[in-house]
Chains A and B, each alone.
Chain A
């Protein structure tokens, strides 16, 4: 249930830490996004670099595409146990839908694979 103005955690190493959803990219004028949906986000805060000299990929107030990977809302399918996460989080991607980061430091739901995000699932720390 991600809408505009929702704050989202970034779980990859693209450089952003907290982003805000500014548009849900869904057909039919739907307002809320779930796992696997694409949203437009504005970068709020950056991840600290601890003095390391890394080329900045990311700046504040930039607009990027993102894929929602975890939601706090309970997802329930028939014949299984419902699943919910402790935070709403997102992985940043290019407009061509390639991941901006190189690794994901979070547990991702396995249904991302069925939603054409097998690449993200492969990068994940663990899949549940």
Chain B
């Protein structure tokens, strides 16, 4: 109980959290992070309102930032979906980075092996290979979790680091090394992603996956089993749902989705069409972690992740304006994402409590 100017505040325990309240809390936490970020902008000497207007007008203008916003945003959608499907089963997937690298390896291996195949054959093969590589890598974590209850967060983080060096092994001085220092050979012409509405077709694929995942989780028996397992693994075991099956399944699914991003990222942007030098592909790999926060803010709803991912993409792309026009330091976009994360965590308080205000 606290008192302030004749008002008294009291916290009250909430037992059942309603969906509407959870949505409100998510929205408020994002709104709050805008306020906090304004403070940083102000400290850096920029007018926050002007800065926000610049960020979003650049990021959403079709002739300026929009293609990049969609490409980057929907890249993070792959990661968000990979996180969501796994967390529905109560398991953390922080291995999107490694699964994305493995997807990259899968896609490029096919493209370099069959550079002369026509696009309609080659691209589906690359996508299938990317998904398969990612799924296999994710399944390692899932298998260890389901079979021996090994901590999935630590295993996935270790696998991410291993995958980073696997890509390094192939590109830097390795069999895929190109003529540009430290990056891979370019993708053959037919491997590059065709564009629909100024964006690679894989952007639409990501959105379609979100819809499919929504239906899968909500309306299929398997989706229901995942949900039951996520609610209480012990209950799930008693009704005959196998831990091993669920954890391998969700991690393989998550891995497959993450793996597809390995095609989307490099084959979908004319600035790449290759695996860039390690610092550059690592910077892209680091973006996959924002899938965690997208998934959490969207309360594990795949459909809500579509606009949220595009919104986060707009922040990353639009923030480049801050560097160019406002001469602000690099990294402000990542700071903004960090603030959204920590503010979301702080707002979790309202999942358990509400504050009652009374006069008197």
**Do A and B originate from a single complex?**
no
* Residues of A participating in the B interface, judged by any CB pair closer than 8 Å: none
* Residues of B participating in the A interface, judged by any CB pair closer than 8 Å: none
